[in-house]
Amino acid sequence: MLGFRLERFLGTTDAEPPNAADFKRIATVQTFGAAWPRTEHLDTRTRALISVAIAATLGVREPLRGQLRIALNNGVTKEEIVEAFIQLSVYAGAARAFESYGIAAEVFGE
Query: Global pTM?
Result: 0.84
Which helix (H) or strand (E) segment holds residue 89: the answer is: helix 78-91
pLDDT at 9: 67
Do 56 and 92 touch, CB atoms closer than 8 A? yes
List Cα–Cα distances, 39 to 23, 43, 46, in angstroms: 25, 5, 10
CA 15 vs. chain centroid, Å, equals 26
Q: What are phi and psi of 43, to 5 degrees?
A: -75, 165
pLDDT at 1: 62
| Residue from 62, 59, 74, 76 nearest 9 by CA | 62
> For each successive 10 residues of the chain (110 residues), what is the average pLDDT?
65 86 84 86 96 97 95 97 97 96 97
pLDDT at 26: 85
Say which residues have a Cβ less than 8 Å from residue 11's Cβ, sequence separation at least 6: 21
